[in-house]
A and B are shown apart, each in its own frame.
Chain A
Amino acid sequence: MARQYLLGNEAIAHAALEGGAGFVAGYPGTPSSEVIDLLRARRPAGVHIEWSTNEKVAFENALGAAWCGVRALFTTKHVGLNVAADPLMTSAYTGVTGGFVVLSADDPFAHSSQNEQDSRLYAAMAGLPCLDPSTIEEAHDMLRDAFALSEEFGLPVLFRPTTRICHSKADVELGPVSTEPREAVFHRDPRQYVVIPAHTRVLHRRLNEKQAGIRRRLVELGYTTGEIRGRQGVIAGGVAAAYVREVLPDDVSLLVVRAYPIDPEQLRCFCLEHEEVLVVEEGAPVIENEVRKAAGCVLVRGKQTGHVPAEGELSPALVQTALAGAGFIATTPSLPPLPEAGLPPRPPILCAGCMHRSVFFAMKKVFKDGIFPSDIGCYTLGLQLGAVDTTICMGASITVGSGIAQTVGGDVVSTIGDSTFLHTGLPGLLNAVYNGANQVLVILDNRITAMTGHQPNPTTGWTATGEESTKVSLESLCRACGVDWVETVDPYDMTGLIATLREAKARTGVRVVIAKKPCVIVERRAKVTRPQFEVDQSVCSGCRACLRFGCPALAFEDGAAAITPLCSGCGVCASLCPQGAIGKEGRPPAKEPATGGAA
């Protein structure tokens, strides 16, 4: 096959088919989402592909398939592995029969994440082999071969790409898709799959007995390679190894680590050839800690000595600075040029017509002294509107909200998206009702998992591969949790939205408001159009009340508000204008000023 310019995740997705994956499950999360999105778009015959409701659910589905001898792939972002950590740990004991690859994509610099945790530490904790590619081509080849490695040791294999692998591109040559037929059978074996204490103690010992063999095999597979070129050496892993190769002088050695556990003997031999070594890696000092154990009296520099940044992501320039700091290159690199100061920032922003904006606006108006715990999704951008006070992890808006409500009282209004609610919000809602919390929950129900690229979920009505499925009723779910007061509102109806929130404020106990409207991006792709709005400049007083709404389609020109072609026609700004100056394009604006508006 000819070379192609491919996204890392695209190469990984194809490699899964080359490796014979027959079962793929995951939950969307940047930077991992495109692996399943590309697979489901391709719909390979005989491969089960699903977006599961959360990572633990996805992991266990894939594990079940692997116990039937099918090759399985589970995908998640790094923090999703926390959700799946429970089955991950014990799956190392039970092992697998079909190859099982656990893809956990790390996000150094937290480009789109709540932390910078390092999945390699999970592999060490669980006792599983971990693969850590430094280029897209390596990611492709290693993912393809990981299923066989998994079967060889009867263990899940953790595969850890990072943002600059997943969301980078390179010229890659793909291989043929596997056509090897595999029989799916579940062989009953309680001593393997029922982890009662008597069984699990034996399984733990067997896991430990596998470790030396894994280390040896990873050496044989050539995953850690080095070249001795001088008395100073760099040891690097992940995409940082590519940055090192770009800036490394010819007389400095390089050892690239691509798999864990690392063979200590291999590290020791490399270190002994050098007077000093510098360890360059993103994330936790995983390689560095092993090097320190193996290096003997060889001087080791890295994160612990302050030569390599302990946080964020690396770049060729940062590696150069580290090399200079360690004395591996003579000249200190000049300071990088700084960006132009004083430019207006352009952070990501909720779309024009996004229903989240009107909900946040109404919440701020009704609950003036409210506390607003929120969650993970596009709506975290409600921070810019002052309507997001906490965000920690999926589902925590409800539970953190309960904790705050039980502690300080007052109005606590949590916001959570439909997908996040189904992910880990439900148990929190059940708990809030059960334990008598006094809080409001607003479910921002746009019928899709929007932020990660519009993946379907149980509210959407179809599965990952486009099969029709039951649309779950969030109202029924909330009522089944014991919530008595559940109201569904149209978030474009500012008057109705405010009235509903006021009613919620007047009540006690757990109250749920479901603000339901399709995501505007999904609507646009489905060619749903609404007439755009415009400002009657002769009526506009230039009071800027509409601009406080923060919609990217609102502008201000020559002393009056204006609406740009970004307008999606939601009409909420018309209801905020005290002058009644905003109306549908080509039609006169409402004669009377709207009453739902900003004070």
Chain B
Amino acid sequence: MSYDVLIVGVGGQGTILASNILGEASVEEGRSVRGAETHGMAQRGGSVECHVRIDGRFGPLIDPGTADLLLAFDLLEALRYAHFLKPDGRVVTNTAIITPTSVFSQRLPMPSPEECLARLAPHAPLAIDAAAIAREAGSELAQNVVLIGAASHMLPLGEAAILAAIERSVPPKTVEVNRRAFALGRASGNPCP
């Protein structure tokens, strides 16, 4: 059985880099892995999803109701994709929400962060302020690695493999910042601090 991770966010937030890190870490551990990504026009500020199936041997797609972990770069997107989780699937999410333009231009109602978290409660959400932690690590751009750090306790991947994958996947100049981002994210997600 594969361990299925759905990474969701808003186009431009770096979901593909996060999926690359999980994929590379799987390869690092000699495991098979499958993934699916959003490319093309849907990237333009739209809702995006990356599927990563650690130990996957078949197709790249995760069906609704079957994901083990939802990794959300945006709290509203966490709620939008929560139906992909299996009943005991977990959520690791950013607390921030980029308000969709439709809320302003069409005056659509929008759930508050508290409502979003309450509706995610069956999946015991781990919510972190990824931007603040990333700033502490040295760059707000490292939010995706912060989130991977926070989720690392749930992932069936070793810390060493994830760190090696981060080093291979991020721009060389940012390796140190991203190592710190991973460590701080990992600390924020520690189940027994």
Contacts of B82 in A (CB 8 A): 339-340
* Residue-wise interface mask of A (148-182) relative to B, using a CB-CB cutoff of 8 A (1 in contact, 0 not): 00000000000000001001111100000000000
The answer for the CA separation of A548 and B102 in the assembled complex, in Å, is 10
B102 adjacent to A316 (CB under 8 Å): no
For the complex, what is the distance from the CA of A573 to the CA of B20, rounded to whole Å?
38
The A contact surface, by secondary structure, is loop
Q: A5 contacts which of B24, B61, B81 (Cβ < 8 Å)?
A: B24
Closest residue of chain B to A134 (Cβ to Cβ) is B59
> In the complex the two chains form, what is the Cα distance from A31 to B77 in whole Å?
24
A462 at the interface (CB under 8 A from B): no
Which residues of A (28-72) have their CB < 8 Å from a CB of B? 30-31, 34
Nearest A residue to B31, CB-CB: A171
Contact A550:B105 (CB < 8 A) given known A30-B39, A343-B111, A348-B43: yes
B110 within 8 A of A: yes
Chain B nearest CB, measured from A334 CB (Å):
8
A375 to B101, CA, bound (A): 24
CB distance from B147 to the nearest CB of A (A): 19
| Closest CB in chain B relative to A5 CB, distance in Å | 4
State how many residues of chain B have any CB contact under 8 Å with chain A. Answer: 52
Residue A346, interface by CB 8 Å: yes
Find A344's partner among B43, B59, B61, B108 (CB 8 Å cutoff).
B108
Binds A, one of B44-52, B148-156, B184-192: B44-52
Q: Is the CB of A31 within 8 A of B39?
A: yes
Query: Once bound together, how far apart are the Cα atoms of A21 and B163, in whole Å?
Result: 37
A555 interface hit (Cβ, 8 Å): yes
The answer to whether A171 touches B45 (Cβ under 8 A) is no
For the complex, what is the distance from the CA of A585 to the CA of B38, rounded to whole Å? Answer: 34
Q: Which residues of B contact A (CB under 8 A)?
A: 10-11, 19-20, 23-24, 26-27, 31-47, 56, 58-61, 63-65, 76-77, 79-83, 99-105, 108-111, 119
Most chain A CB atoms below 10 A, which of B26, B40, B45, B110:
B40
Residues A345 and B100 in contact, CB atoms below 8 Å apart: yes
23 A–B contacts from the bound complex (CB under 8 Å): A4-B27, A5-B24, A5-B26, A5-B27, A30-B40, A112-B39, A168-B59, A169-B60, A170-B35, A316-B59, A337-B64, A344-B102, A344-B103, A346-B100, A346-B102, A348-B43, A349-B101, A378-B44, A381-B44, A547-B105, A550-B101, A554-B104, A556-B104
Shortest A533–chain B CB gap in Å is 16
**CA separation between A112 and B37, bound complex, in Å?**
13
A170 is contacted by which of B33, B38, B99, B119 (Cβ under 8 Å)? B33
Given contacts A169-B19, A169-B60, A338-B83, contact A111 B44 (CB under 8 A): no
B60 touches A170 (CB 8 A): yes
- Which residues from chain A contact B26 at a C-beta distance below 8 Å? 5, 171
Q: Tell yes or no: A368 within 8 A of B by CB.
A: no
A31 engages B34 (CB within 8 Å)? no
The yes or no answer to A342 lying at the interface (CB within 8 A) is yes
A346 touches B59 (CB 8 A): no
Once the chains bind, are A346 and B33 in contact (CB under 8 Å)?
A: no
A316 & B105 in contact (Cβ 8 Å cutoff): no
Q: How far is the CA of A385 from the CA of B44 in the complex (A)?
A: 15
Given the complex, which residues of B lie within 8 Å of A126, measured CB to CB? none
Are A336 and B41 in contact (CB-based, < 8 A)?
no
